[in-house]
Structure 1
Amino acid sequence: MGLDDALIFTRVVECHSFTLAAQGLGMQKSTVSRRIALLEERLGVRLLNRTTRKLRLTEVGQAYYERCRQIMLDFAEAEQAVMQLQQAPSGLLRISAPIEFGQLFLGRVLGEFMRQYPQISAEVELTSRRVDPVEEGVDIVILVGQPQDSTLVARKLFETERLLCASPEYLAAQGTPGAVAELADHRAVLLPHDSPRHWPLLDESIACRCVLSSNNITFAREAVLAGAGIAALPSMICQEALRSGRLVQLLAAARLSVNELYAVYPSRRFQAMKVKTFLDFLMACLPIERGLRLEPAAAGLLPSAPQSIPASTPRDSS
């Protein structure tokens, strides 16, 4: 009876009306009023001050309501979790991600996910702009760096080290720096989020002479390949060029800032099965040492759908 009374009380508070609460609960107004009176009698406190026109929570009633509301949310979430165990992900999955991550990694992972879960369709925007998942109705936003909005949930995917790189042609013309202090004399190609005044070093503050900046990492890499200058490139987009000799790594002992990628979404509560399952799938596709580095080759083996969720069971959209 205690849980039932707490539910009735919560509905009355949220409806601001005994009449509306009774209609929503399928009960008589007199029954709702009597149950609230019995609840107050049992607790030995007044929860609501009532007039002919208004309901107002007492201080004790406000505290009791907040606890009851949390219990109702937990109960609803528990029911949803049990029901979802028997359901396969389905519906439209909307994702926003950085261009390079999408091209090198996300496309392959999402394609395999959709193969295993054919009831999923997807809409993906690869962009360098900041996307607000709530404002734009996006299920998952993958972004570089932690979000500023503390109301969003941020799940760290990984971080990739950065390497100081230049082309052999640039080094032949401008010389090869032998120490980090010598970077001040070289041409800098800056990436998104880099300071326009200093090289992205963790231990030292070295002024940089910026000759080119871009909001696209691949564009910056191509400019460096063509001899524009030196850049601190994420390892995930420069390893092939380093192996082939088209780029040269400089000052390997230098400690540079890292690029962190996060999956951001509005809330953990009542999370759609399609979102939860894809996030788990995406994490399983990352290297075993998650949170360290991501190389394209590390995504060669993709996981199978969990056995507890049938991969092809049809159901209505989430």
Structure 2
Amino acid sequence: MGLDDALIFTRVVECHSFTLAAQGLGMQKSTVSRRIALLEERLGVRLINRTTRKLRLTEVGQAYYERCRQIMLDFAEAEHAVMQLQREPSGLLRISAPIEFGQLFLGKVLGAFMRQYPEIRAEVELTSRPVDPVEEGVDIAILVGPPQDSTLIARKLFESRRRLCASPAYLAAHGVPESIEQLADHRAILLPSDAPRYWPLIGESVVCQRVMSCNNITFAREAVLAGAGIAGLPLMISEYAVRRGELIELLPQARLPVGEVHAVYPSRRFQAMKVKTFLDFLMHHLPRDEGELLEPATARLLTLGL
């Protein structure tokens, strides 16, 4: 109520008239008069001396007006700044993302985005843990799987397919599984989403010999490359090694769970221009082939027009 009354008081002083101030505010003159009277009563001072022909500020009223006018100017400046931010992407953009997505893809895209919009600054956290954008003040959180909070908005980026892979050295030492059932005789490297006792297969219940579990897909891939066992690796980090013959895809008929990667953010309403523009930019630069998503730069599989 104090800010509204301050606005009304400021308009009355600047218009030198209750009638003109009321018209400008879209209010009844009687309402404006009553609000000024209530303001004076609340403050315990007279702000305006009224006559039938003119208004004159008291000494206290003049001091109060100067403070109120500065507040109104600051408020107008704040509104202008917000509107400017909505016209051109600018300001601090805070993003969290899975480590691999950030290292091998997001960095390129964000760098290109910041080159196009030089008023953008960025803070990026690469992490394996789930991030709540509201709790942690993040503009955009890249997550595998849908958000747990139904009030958040999730924009699907792509599907992360998985396939069973092993190294030539492992297969030379332990043999090549010819059927899904034969996986029970092989060493398993599991990811956090995998059940601890079974191979991560859809429609199959094959017990596994777990020799390793880890919470990082690149770590799992390196362990597989070293010959430690077989893992259900995302295509986006195994494609390059498969093409080079460093990994062998096994049992292509096996169906593994698909992980959906989402960009998660608090709300579509009054969405900041920096967030909307970056999401559109990110979607535009996602490759059609997931196997081209997170490969080394030397593979030259991903082109951002840089």
What do the CA deviations read for 1:58-106 (whole angstroms, capped 9, x no partner)? xxxxxxxxxxxxxxxxxxxxx99xx679821001111000011111211
What's the counterpart of residue 301 of structure 1?
Answer: 304
Q: Does 1:180 align with 2:192?
A: no
**How many residues of Structure 1 are paired with residues of Structure 2 in the alignment?**
238
> What is the CA–CA distance in structure 2 between the aligned matches of 1:22 and 1:144, rounded to whole Å?
46
What do the CA deviations read for 1:103-130 (whole angstroms, capped 9, x no partner)? 1211100010001000001111111011
Conservation of the 8 A alpha-carbon contact between 1:285 and 1:299:
no
What's the counterpart of residue 165 of structure 1?
Answer: 165
Conservation of the 8 A alpha-carbon contact between 2:158 and 2:261:
yes
Conservation of the 8 A alpha-carbon contact between 1:236 and 1:295:
yes
Q: 1:231 to 1:288 in 2, by over 3 A?
A: closer
What do the CA deviations read for 1:125-158 (whole angstroms, capped 9, x no partner)? 1110111111111110001111111111111100
Q: Does 1:151 align with 2:148?
A: no
How far the C-alpha of 1:206 sits from its partner, in A, is 1.5
What's the counterpart of residue 260 of structure 2?
Answer: 260
Conservation of the 8 A alpha-carbon contact between 2:105 and 2:293:
no
What's the counterpart of residue 5 of structure 2?
Answer: 23
Moved over 4 A (4+): 19-22, 30-35, 83-86
> What is the CA–CA distance in structure 1 between the aligned matches of 2:286 and 2:238, rounded to whole Å?
18
Partner AA of 1:273 in structure 2: M
How far the C-alpha of 1:191 sits from its partner, in A, is 1.5
> What is the CA–CA distance in structure 2 between the aligned matches of 1:86 and 1:152, rounded to whole Å?
21
Q: 1:86 to 1:226 in 2, by over 3 A?
A: closer
> What is the CA–CA distance in structure 2 between the aligned matches of 1:132 and 1:301, rounded to whole Å?
29
Q: 1:168 to 1:301 in 2, by over 3 A?
A: same
Q: 1:284 to 1:241 in 2, by over 3 A?
A: same
Q: 1:293 to 1:269 in 2, by over 3 A?
A: farther
What's the counterpart of residue 209 of structure 1?
Answer: 209
Task: Look up the SS of the partner of 1:260 in the other structure.
Answer: strand
Task: Look up the SS of the partner of 1:279 in the other structure.
Answer: helix
Task: Look up the SS of the partner of 2:159 in the other structure.
Answer: strand
The structure that has the greater radius of gyration is 2
How far the C-alpha of 1:20 sits from its partner, in A, is 5.2
What's the counterpart of residue 56 of structure 2?
Answer: none
How far the C-alpha of 1:203 sits from its partner, in A, is 2.3
How far the C-alpha of 1:302 sits from its partner, in A, is 4.8
How far the C-alpha of 1:180 sits from its partner, in A, is 0.7
Task: Look up the SS of the partner of 2:104 in the other structure.
Answer: helix
Conservation of the 8 A alpha-carbon contact between 1:198 and 1:205:
yes
What's the counterpart of residue 275 of structure 2?
Answer: 275
Task: Look up the SS of the partner of 2:87 in the other structure.
Answer: coil
Q: 1:249 to 1:147 in 2, by over 3 A?
A: same
How far the C-alpha of 1:184 sits from its partner, in A, is 1.3
Partner AA of 1:300 in structure 2: T
Task: Look up the SS of the partner of 1:232 in the other structure.
Answer: strand
How far the C-alpha of 1:295 sits from its partner, in A, is 3.0
What's the counterpart of residue 245 of structure 1?
Answer: 245
TM-score, L = length of structure 2: 0.71
Q: Does 1:133 align with 2:102?
A: no
Conservation of the 8 A alpha-carbon contact between 2:286 and 2:293:
no
Task: Look up the SS of the partner of 2:101 in the other structure.
Answer: helix
Q: 1:256 to 1:281 in 2, by over 3 A?
A: same
How far the C-alpha of 1:255 sits from its partner, in A, is 1.3
> What is the CA–CA distance in structure 1 between the aligned matches of 2:101 and 2:210, rounded to whole Å?
25
Q: 1:252 to 1:119 in 2, by over 3 A?
A: same
What's the counterpart of residue 224 of structure 2?
Answer: 224
**Unaligned 5+ residue runs, structure 1?**
1-18, 36-78, 304-318
What's the counterpart of residue 286 of structure 1?
Answer: 286
Partner AA of 1:301 in structure 2: L
What's the counterpart of residue 66 of structure 2?
Answer: none
How far the C-alpha of 1:32 sits from its partner, in A, is 9.8
Conservation of the 8 A alpha-carbon contact between 2:162 and 2:257:
yes
> What is the CA–CA distance in structure 1 between the aligned matches of 2:292 and 2:223, rounded to whole Å?
23
- Give the aligned CA root-mean-square deviation in angstroms: 2.8
Share of identical aligned residues, percent? 67
How far the C-alpha of 1:33 sits from its partner, in A, is 9.3
> What is the CA–CA distance in structure 2 between the aligned matches of 1:144 and 1:294, rounded to whole Å?
18
Task: Look up the SS of the partner of 2:157 in the other structure.
Answer: strand
What do the CA deviations read for 1:167-199 (whole angstroms, capped 9, x no partner)? 111111111111111111111101131221221
Q: 1:241 to 1:293 in 2, by over 3 A?
A: closer
